[in-house]
């Protein structure tokens, strides 16, 4: 049970979209937002859920909260079918939609929290403890009496994260929780989530377009594209899937024509600037023999190896999708 805290088997969501195409004429079109997704998340894991715009991430999260009913497949969270027992599940999950707030716009933060205290029937002591902790760690002290509409985006987001945690949810869905935040606020939010996961074993499903969030928080990442899961594994493994390249930056004694390694056709010079040359080679190939051969054939002064950056890998992965 604990190893299958979140379970999806062939889950689908099809939207019927009607579009006006002329006078009294409407066209019906199906959008397969989620197209047969299966995965398992064990309790306590923190997983990244990423993909390009319109891939189906938010739709998946809405099904996991019970806001949307799947068109097909089977879905369980903590053994509960979300759309059938939405209220029961609500006590066990927390959600943050970065794009819109779950707080009451005209109320000060503190009043929103009071309402949640009652809505979720949180025991008084537990509520106070959780609120104190969030206020301290998310730096909300000075903001509690401020109406939500007067908060900056970053302040509001921290307020939303606290709101999602007051009832001790076992699982937290975060849909772009760092969107629009400055570097300092992002670091604060990430630190908070890391501690939460470590101390309370809260299961976290994290959607973001900021891959640093994933790099810093998630060992496992799932990539969704056109409603399908195209990758599920370690972040490091994405490099292989994306057929990424590493770069060898070599400083020669003097300006020379682009170097060639007859034995290694996979190595290409991608840039030359005076005596410095950039050589791209497959990430799966070891750099050591390349360096040895270069040193034997060329007047080498210095060199360094650059790892592919994960953003480039993912961009390449999306771009290589034949469906695009």
Binding site for ligand ATP (CB under 6 A): 15, 17, 31, 33, 51, 53-59
CA distance 229 to 239: 17
- Residue 33 site contact among Mg ion, ligand ATP, none (CB < 5 to 8 Å, cut-off depends on kind): ligand ATP
**Site of tokens 């004694």:** 253
**Site of tokens 């891959």:** 211
- In the bound state with ligand ATP, the residue whose beta carbon lies nearer, of 15 and 105, is 15
Q: Is 206 helix (H, G, I), strand (E, B) or coil?
A: strand
- Residue 31 site contact among Mg ion, ligand ATP, none (CB < 5 to 8 Å, cut-off depends on kind): ligand ATP
CA distance 227 to 55: 5
Q: How far is CA 200 from CA 7, 134, 197, 218, in A?
A: 21, 13, 6, 16
Span near Mg ion by CB under 5 A; candidates 51-59, 104-112, 114-122, 182-190: 51-59
The tokens for 118 are 């009652």
What's the number of CA atoms in the CB half-sphere (13 Å) around residue 70? 24
Of the candidate residues 46, 47, 48, 58, the single one contacting Mg ion (CB under 5 A): 58
- In the bound state with ligand ATP, the residue whose beta carbon lies nearer, of 170 and 210, is 210
- Residue 169 site contact among ligand ATP, Mg ion, none (CB < 5 to 8 Å, cut-off depends on kind): none
- In the bound state with ligand ATP, the residue whose beta carbon lies nearer, of 180 and 191, is 180
- In the bound state with ligand ATP, the residue whose beta carbon lies nearer, of 33 and 47, is 33
Find the shortest distance in angstroms from Cβ 55 to ligand ATP. Answer: 4
- In the bound state with ligand ATP, the residue whose beta carbon lies nearer, of 68 and 290, is 68
CA distance 105 to 146: 10
Span near Mg ion by CB under 5 A; candidates 30-38, 54-62, 136-144, 223-231: 54-62
- In the bound state with ligand ATP, the residue whose beta carbon lies nearer, of 30 and 297, is 30
Report the b/e string of 291-320 with b at 16+ CB within 10 A. eebbeeebeeeebeeeebebeebbebbbee
CA distance 301 to 20: 67
- Residue 208 site contact among ligand ATP, Mg ion, none (CB < 5 to 8 Å, cut-off depends on kind): none
Residue nearest to Mg ion (CB): 58
- Judged by the rule CB under 5 A, the positions of this chain that interact with Mg ion are 58
């Amino acid at each position: 049970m604990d190893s299958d805290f979140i379970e999806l088997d062939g889950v689908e969501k099809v939207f019927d979209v009607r579009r006006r195409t002329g006078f009294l004429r409407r066209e019906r079109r199906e959008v397969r937002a989620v197209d047969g997704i299966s995965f398992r998340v064990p309790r306590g894991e923190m997983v990244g859920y990423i993909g390009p715009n319109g891939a189906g991430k938010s739709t998946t999260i809405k099904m996991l909260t019970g806001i949307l009913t799947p068109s097909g497949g089977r879905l369980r969270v903590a053994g509960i079918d979300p759309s059938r027992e939405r209220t029961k599940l609500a006590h066990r999950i927390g959600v943050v939609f970065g794009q819109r707030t779950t707080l009451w716009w005209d109320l000060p933060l503190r009043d929103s929290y009071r309402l949640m205290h009652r809505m979720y029937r949180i025991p008084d002591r537990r509520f106070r403890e959780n609120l104190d902790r969030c206020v301290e760690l998310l730096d909300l002290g000075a903001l509690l009496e401020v109406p939500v509409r007067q908060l900056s985006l970053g302040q509001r987001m921290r307020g939303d994260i606290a709101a999602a945690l007051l009832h001790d949810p076992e699982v937290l869905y975060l849909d772009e929780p760092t969107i629009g935040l400055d570097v300092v606020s992002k670091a604060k939010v990430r630190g908070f989530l890391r501690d939460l996961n470590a101390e309370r074993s809260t299961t976290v499903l994290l959607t973001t377009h900021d891959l640093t969030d994933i790099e810093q928080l998630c060992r496992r990442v799932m990539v969704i594209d056109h409603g399908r899961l195209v990758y599920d594994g370690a972040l490091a493994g994405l490099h292989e899937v994306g057929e990424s390249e590493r770069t060898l930056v070599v400083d020669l004694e003097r300006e020379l024509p682009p170097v060639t390694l007859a034995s290694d056709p996979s190595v290409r010079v991608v840039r030359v600037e005076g005596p410095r040359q950039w050589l791209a080679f497959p990430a799966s190939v070891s750099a050591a023999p390349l360096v040895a051969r270069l040193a034997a054939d060329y007047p080498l002064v210095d060199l360094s190896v650059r790892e592919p950056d994960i953003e480039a890998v993912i961009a390449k992965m999306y771009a290589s999708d034949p469906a695009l």
